[in-house]
Structure 1
């Protein structure tokens, strides 16, 4: 699968809220996930597919309801994919909130080896 094909599939999965499918199908075993800064319960950097699953489970446990998800068309340059992700969620501890982030992925041999979020 080319990086362009992977980008289209990735963006579509994210639009559908299928983030677990992304991790199962597209993440390399040694994937690295990078947040802008550490927050309670989340390190700045998470290494490995299993650790990323645990991070996602923790985030999902804090979400009460997903109201909307919007993903821009992906941009592709060589082995890099980028798109914006806008979500409106009700968080159990914070109430309804809007999240807007830039998601950047690095691809090698048809798998995502790194993801980094900017917000």
Structure 2
């Protein structure tokens, strides 16, 4: 797959809330996920597809409801792309989060996402 195809497929799956499917289909086994900062729930950096999938499951276990999810069209370069994700969620602890992240992705020579990084 080309970087453009990967970007469009990731956006398509994320808009459907199919994050784990996107990870299993598009991410390299040795990929890295970088958060804006470490928190009580998540490390700043998560390495490996299995660990990233577990991080996603942990996030889902904390969310009571997704009130809104919007993903922008991707901006694509040679081996990287970016999009924004806007999420309005209610957490199980009743906190309300309304946030937009800039999500960047780097694609390796094998056509798999090797690094994802999020910015607030």
Q: Match of 1:106, SS?
A: strand
- In the alignment, which residue of structure 2 is the partner of 1:110? 111
RMSD, aligned α-carbons:
0.9
Q: In the TM superposition, what is the alpha-carbon distance from 1:110 to its structure 2 partner?
A: 1.2
- In the alignment, which residue of structure 2 is the partner of 1:90? 90
- In the alignment, which residue of structure 2 is the partner of 1:37? 37
Instruction: Answer with 71-80 or 91-100: which moved more.
Output: 91-100
Q: Deviations over 1:29-75 (max 9, x none)?
A: 00000001101120000000011011111111100001111011100
- In the alignment, which residue of structure 2 is the partner of 1:2? 2
Instruction: Please identify runs of 4+ aligned residues in structure 1 that moved more than 2 A.
Output: none
Instruction: Give distance in 2, aligned partners of 1:8 and 1:102.
Output: 16
Structural mapping, 1:58-69, within 5 Å: 58-69=58-69
Q: Match of 1:64, SS?
A: strand
Q: In the TM superposition, what is the alpha-carbon distance from 1:92 to its structure 2 partner?
A: 1.0
Give the count of matched residue pairs: 119
- Normalised TM-score (structure 2): 0.96
